Chains A and B, each alone.
Chain A
Amino acid sequence: MHRRLFQSFGSAAGMSGPALAAPAVGFLLVFLIVPLAAMLLYSVSARVAGGVLVPAFTLENYARIFTNDLYLRFVIRTLRVALTTTLLCMILSYPLALILAHGNRTFARITMLILVAPLLVNLVIRSYGWTIVLNTRGLLNWLIASVGLPVPGQILYSEAAVVIGCAHLFLPLMVLPLAAAIIRIEPSIMDCGRVFGASEFRVFCHIVLPLSLPGLAAGSALVFPLTAGAYVTPALLGGNFASLLGNLIEQQVVAASNWPFGAALATLLVAILLLVNLIFLKLFERKTARWVHRGR
């Protein structure tokens, strides 16, 4: 019924495809392409004292990033934190995804709850929660001290704190695609691995790991850019010692009211993330190209 309605609508207009795509295209145009274009435009504008914009074309803003050590350090730290967080998420995700995919049902449900429940808590409150845990006299250090291990000192306001906070925040985005990929592996393939002599560990290494790479790629493509673009978490957990590009951009735009320089930083961030994701996906694709097309 609906289908026929759509068909007659489409064919009457003689352009069913474009007509149906129009709303989506319009949405993207208004909310993605236009702001991106504005950002690009800002990034090549000049600024005069007092924060007034002058319509001109200059690459000065970009030059400033690459000639100043301080800004480059932000870029490198951002990439380092994003990479560490992604790797940490990968490692933490496998046990969780395996429980979700193959664990007993109650256990899987509890895991899912623990994984998803934090999403219901406001991001700022969550980050403040972590400050209590990671403080010098926080929960973590107290726990370490109470079992008699040497206390590592301040964790809060370091890169480690940002990585922990971001990993907690974005873990579901890695676990869920990974679990979906693992569920798709035929149980009989794993059974075959076992029967033909692979211990559970080797079943994981030789079968589950390679066959779940598409899920890992999808998860990484989400976690990496989200961490690199994180703003609240590094502000609260990283403080002045581990703030990321997002914080620098905020500083430039809001505090220093230097929109052109902020826009240049933002453009650079977007460009880097696009490039990294492209390389990421190409690498994964290369790894799985020999077999992933079986469905087609």
Chain B
Amino acid sequence: MSLGGAAQPFDLFVKDINKSFDGQFAVRGVSFGVRAGQLLALLGPSGCGKTTVLRIIAGLLSPDEGDVRFKDRSVLGTPVHKRGVGILFQNYALFPHYSVAQNVAFGLRMRRMSGTETASRVREALALVRLEGLEERMPHQLSGGQQQRVALARALAIKPLILLLDEPFAALDRKLREAMQIELRALQVSLQLTTVLVTHDQDEALTLADEVAVMRDGWIEQIGSPSDIYARPTSRFVADFVGISNFFMGRLMSGVSGEAVVDAGALQLKPAKVPAEFQAGSNVTVALRPERLQLKIVEPASSGPNQVRARLERVVYRGALSFCHLRLEDGRPLIASLAAGVDSTWISELQPGQIFNVSWDRAANLIIRDESASGVELD
């Protein structure tokens, strides 16, 4: 992805941001752009710096280095209360001493908007989040979901240049969270709101975002569309944090016919594609998604690349998916998933102890960067 092209119509552009607290880097070298009407998710575990980036965009923090540009104009000199962004916090942060209508009107009042216009904007915003009729309620009289809607209406009422969402659904129960996600996405698309979402929830990021930036230790590990991130992770961290992956380490070799093969002990992996940064003879890590693996009751085993014999240890039933925890003959673990509709006849017959021939196609082998070879913790 090319960043910084002058012609790119980015509504929001964050350029080479650095920020440290007490000498500790919280954010380093973070750059990304969000085009008009798009939603970018900053995804990462807690402490990865995603919230710091959000606060820098809002103006609640200033970066040590770098630039934040709204519509190609630097806003670093603009104080937080004049940036014109809307924000949604995890705990809603409604003003407890104001009614619903007063909460929604707050940003408009601060802009010294006339009474009649304020009233119509408040009505409009409450209609968008379907909360008409609750104008006079106090925040403590509302349910969590309703409070979240009020907070959203408050952000929408000011017609923000950029909408910032800080773990907005983390406090809601799952059903409500999923409903709110869909509703928010629909609103964001129809209002063409340029949005940055901060979340640690991979499902939320994949569901809502046009683009996902996976963050780790203060920097962006990978940025791309949700399907890019899931299907083509470039590092072990991303492959592990987003979805589930099996990892095999081995040496990258040139095969007989000139095709690349990864020699991982008892296992030969033949990738469809090797990224240019990896050279023959180097040690590489291959990630395999569980759903790409196929299980067959073992027959006279054919040996070859992209297949291996494994013993089934247990099955974790998860409704739509069942996860088969297998172990290779040399003791390495392997997880394969079976889809309920497709493999249903299978799932009922699975028995721990069965030996399977596990195979996968070449495109399933993803050669990735792997820092954990040097002992980086993952969770």
**Does chain B have a CB within 8 A of A95?**
no
**Does chain A have a CB within 8 A of B95?**
yes
Which of B91, B110, B138 has a CB less than 8 Å from the CB of A197?
B110
Q: A255-296 vs B: 1/0 string, CB under 8 Å?
A: 000000000000000000000000000000000101101100
Alpha-carbon distance A19/B97, docked complex (angstroms): 41
Alpha-carbon distance A294/B138, docked complex (angstroms): 9
Alpha-carbon distance A198/B106, docked complex (angstroms): 9
Q: Decide if the interface of chain A is mainly helix, strand, loop or mixed.
A: helix
**Does chain A have a CB within 8 A of B53?**
no
Q: Which one of B27-35, B79-87, B123-131, B193-201 is at the interface?
A: B79-87
Q: Are B87 and A195 closer than 8 Å at their CB atoms?
A: yes
Q: Are A195 and B154 closer than 8 Å at their CB atoms?
A: no
Q: Which one of A10-18, A130-138, A185-193 is at the interface?
A: A185-193
Which of B60, B91, B93, B138 has a CB less than 8 Å from the CB of A290?
B138
Interface centre among A197, A288, A291 (most CB of B within 10 A): A197
Interface centre among A188, A211, A294 (most CB of B within 10 A): A188
Q: Are A195 and B80 closer than 8 Å at their CB atoms?
A: yes
Taking CB atoms, residues of chain A closer than 8 Å to B296 are none
Alpha-carbon distance A146/B89, docked complex (angstroms): 54
**Does chain B have a CB within 8 A of A202?**
yes
Which of A192, A197, A294 has a CB less than 8 Å from the CB of B139?
A294
**Does chain A have a CB within 8 A of B292?**
no
**Does chain A have a CB within 8 A of B140?**
yes
Knowing A291-B139, A291-B140, A293-B140, the reply to whether A196 touches B93 (Cβ < 8 A) is no
Taking CB atoms, residues of chain B closer than 8 Å to A193 are 95, 106
Q: Are A196 and B140 closer than 8 Å at their CB atoms?
A: no
Task: State the Cβ distance, A291 to closest chain B Cβ, in Å.
Answer: 5
Q: Identify which of residues 234-262 in chain B touch chain A, using a CB-to-CB cut-off of 8 Å.
A: none
Knowing A198-B81, A198-B110, A199-B81, the reply to whether A192 touches B95 (Cβ < 8 A) is yes
Which of A192, A288, A294 has a CB less than 8 Å from the CB of B93?
A192
**Does chain B have a CB within 8 A of A194?**
yes
Q: Are B97 and A195 closer than 8 Å at their CB atoms?
A: no
Alpha-carbon distance A294/B94, docked complex (angstroms): 12
Taking CB atoms, residues of chain B closer than 8 Å to A191 are 58, 60, 87, 89, 93
Q: A202-219 vs B: 1/0 string, CB under 8 Å?
A: 100011001100000000
Taking CB atoms, residues of chain A closer than 8 Å to B94 are 189
**Does chain A have a CB within 8 A of B73?**
no
Taking CB atoms, residues of chain A closer than 8 Å to B164 are 195
Knowing A194-B81, A198-B81, the reply to whether A189 touches B93 (Cβ < 8 A) is yes
Q: Are B93 and A186 closer than 8 Å at their CB atoms?
A: yes
Taking CB atoms, residues of chain B closer than 8 Å to A198 are 81, 106, 110
Q: Are A202 and B110 closer than 8 Å at their CB atoms?
A: yes
Taking CB atoms, residues of chain B closer than 8 Å to A288 are 97
**Does chain A have a CB within 8 A of B107?**
yes
Which of B96, B99, B140 has a CB less than 8 Å from the CB of A211?
B96
Cross-chain pairs A/B with CB under 8 angstroms, 16 sampled: A189-B95, A189-B96, A191-B58, A192-B154, A193-B95, A194-B59, A195-B86, A196-B87, A196-B154, A197-B82, A197-B110, A199-B79, A206-B106, A210-B97, A290-B138, A291-B97
Question: A interface vs B, CB < 8 Å?
Answer: 186, 188-189, 191-199, 202, 206-207, 210-211, 288, 290-291, 293-294
Q: A191-B60, A197-B81 are in contact. List 13 more A-B contacts (CB 8 A).
A: A186-B91, A192-B89, A192-B95, A194-B60, A195-B59, A196-B81, A196-B106, A196-B107, A197-B111, A198-B110, A207-B95, A211-B96, A291-B97
Question: B interface vs A, CB < 8 Å?
Answer: 58-60, 79-83, 85-87, 89, 91, 93-97, 99, 106-107, 110-111, 138-140, 154, 158, 164
